[in-house]
Amino acid sequence: MASWNPDTPCSCDCFVSVPPASAIPAVIFAKNSDRPRDEVQEVVFVPASTHAPGSRLQCTYIEVEQVSKTHAVILSRPSWLWGAEMGANEHGVCIGNEAVWTKEPVDEGEALLGMDLLRLALERSRSALEALHVITGLLERYGQGGSCREDPAPFCYHNTFLLADRTEAWVLETAGRLWAAQRIQEGARNISNQLSIGTDISAEHSELRTHALAQGWWGGQGTFDFAQVFSLTQQPVRMEAAKARFQAGQELLQQQRGGITAEVMMGILRNKESGICMDSGGFRTTASMVSILPQDPTQPCVHFLTATPDPSRSVFKPFIFGAGAAQAPQVLSPTFGAQDPVRTQPRFQTQVDRRHTLYRGHQVALGLMEREQDRGQQLRQKQRDLEQEGLEAARGLLAGEWAPPPQELATLFQAFVEREGQVYA
């Protein structure tokens, strides 16, 4: 069983709004990825592809069987691993994951990371429900495990997921190979590093209740409350902090219910008072994402990604799938091949510089914001102006007021990344 420090920061926050909670006829998804403070997240575009029968796929630690066809995805991921913290695919499916600890022991043995499961589901699904089936099927076959941090000291956890598409969302919470899921067809929902599914269970592992009964966690009579049965009896300090963030997130969503937009979600992700936008104990918000998933299938989904830490001082830049979409090189980290510390044994004995071009420029900008008030305010205003352009472009596109050529849409993210780089030059 893996050991972990109860004071170790372990915080992420995912949000979703399903009409009528949204201000527009769209599902709106958002996530802050809170990770080790100096970890770099890159934004990676992977085109759709076909694969030969019998192909194998190398994930972060283990290989799995490849499928015949994979969908195009846009991923925000810690640059040392294969999976992703959050992302979307060409069919309008979005997923975010979070760390969770339960009564079920966490194993240090290498298997699929929750972040691997997330990417695999995006590459293999056309809906949130199908993505849920992909994750639970892989979980049953391969399990979840392995260190989730680029460090010699293992940092292992199980996972919860928020999955969304154009029509609905699902919360999937796991404990080892066991799981429970809740369907969200209207309203707003959030998750924050703790089990949150109680008695409203829409789907579950076939052995979930018998296992709880065998372990003595549940008496077998009356209502089955997943969170109550599987949560740790004594919650450590950091899990209590997660509870406070979860409650704050609920309140922020409730305050905006019926009027939730992409901008509202960005504001929630930037909320420092609640700890949702965090920087403490060696962890911080290292990347953020907000997606607009219109219910009208003829309208494009718009995904906003930062590729840089601290959303309160970053730019959400729009990405739209389409013919001609390609990787933006400025947000792609360098690679180290067979010499990468994640590939050599024992793992993580050395460190490498994974900063991509935009990350380096953003670091310089953050330093100026902290040292020179006037220059910092000018930089922040330029960031806001650029982000506002992206939001206005999305509004115009969804309102039918802006109809650029497909190639321009496909390269929109690249254009905004380049312009942000110029702000920091």
Beta strand residue intervals within 323-403, DSSP E: none
Report phi then psi at 321, rounded to 5.
-70, 150
What six digits make up the tokens of 242? Answer: 């997660």
For residue 201, CA distances in Å to 20, 170, 261 come to: 22, 11, 28
Q: Which candidate in 10, 12, 94, 277 is catalytic?
A: 12
Q: Give dist(CA 409, CA 101) in Å, integer.
A: 41
Task: Return the half-sphere exposure (C-beta side, CA atoms, 13 A cut-off) of residue 198.
Answer: 1
DSSP assignment letter at 403: -
Q: Which two tokens stand for residue 218?
A: 């549940």
**CA 303/CA 183 separation, integer angstroms:** 22
Q: Is 156 designated active site?
A: no
Radius of gyration of the chain (CA): 21
Q: How many Cβ atoms sit within 10 Å of the Cβ of residue 365?
A: 22
Say how many C-beta atoms besides its own lie within 10 A of residue 37's C-beta.
15
Token representation of residue 334: 């360098």
Report which secondary-structure segment, H or E, holds 49: strand 49-50
* 112 secondary structure, DSSP code: B
Give bridge partners of residue 63 from the DSSP assignment.
Answer: 58
- Block residue for tokens 């592809």: 49
DSSP H stretches of helix in 216-356: 226-230, 237-255, 262-269
**Beta strand 279-280 with 302-305: parallel, antiparallel or unpaired?**
unpaired
302 and 397 in contact (C-beta within 8 Å)? yes
Q: List, as one string, the DSSP characters of 250-269.
A: HHHHHHTTT-B-HHHHHHHH
**Residue 18 token pair:** 């399903």
Half-sphere exposure of 125 (CA within 13 A, CB side): 27
Compute the distance between CA of residue 185 and CA of residue 113 in angstroms, rounded to an integer: 28
3-state secondary structure of 320: coil
Give the integer Cα–Cα distance in Å for 230 and 423.
Answer: 48
Catalytic positions, please? 12
